[in-house]
């Protein structure tokens, strides 16, 4: 039965941590995309509303309607400002999540490298042992032939 290497356990834990970090990063990226889409929608809505008002140019507009229009545009602008802030904050979270994931990825790669070096060393040792046995066998054969 082969002896279990503790580094294999460390590698499994590192893989699990990396996968969890990748899942977290994907979630933040989805949230960021939604925030950006909402921002685009708000900007498009404002543009459409401005075009609608532009279409009424030359017509007689009541002062109260004109006042409501400006008030509504201010509200849309405030919503846009809040959404710009939300996009910026979510992007900061994305950067942190990406850095965290990259750190977990580096740890996993380091453990894999250690395991690789360990396997190479084991392979070299086994080759040396095999060569030693072959040399021993050849020397015994030579010794037997020379004593006859």
pLDDT reported for residue 60:
67
pLDDT at 139: 85
pLDDT, mean of each 10-residue run, the chain (148 residues): 79 96 97 98 94 75 80 96 98 97 97 94 93 88 74
Spell out where 33-148 has E strands.
none
Write down the pTM of the prediction: 0.73
Q: Residue 1: its pLDDT value, please?
A: 46
Query: CB-based contacts of 7: which residues, under 8 Å, 6+ apart?
Result: 111, 114, 115, 118
Give the model's pLDDT for residue 118: 93
């Amino acid at each position: 039965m082969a002896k279990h290497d503790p580094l294999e356990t460390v590698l499994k834990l590192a893989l699990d941590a990396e996968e969890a970090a990748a899942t977290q990063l994907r979630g933040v990226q989805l949230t960021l995309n939604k925030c950006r889409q909402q921002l685009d929608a708000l900007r498009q809505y404002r543009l459409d509303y401005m075009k609608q008002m532009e279409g009424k140019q030359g017509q007689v507009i009541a002062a109260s309607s004109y006042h409501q229009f400006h008030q509504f545009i201010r509200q849309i602008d405030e919503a846009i400002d809040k959404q710009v802030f939300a996009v910026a904050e979510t992007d900061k979270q994305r950067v942190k999540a990406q850095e965290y994931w990259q750190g977990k990825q580096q740890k996993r790669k380091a453990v894999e490298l250690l395991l690789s070096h360990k396997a190479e060393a084991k392979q070299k040792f086994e080759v040396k042992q095999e060569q030693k046995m072959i040399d021993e066998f050849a020397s015994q054969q030579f010794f037997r032939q020379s004593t006859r």
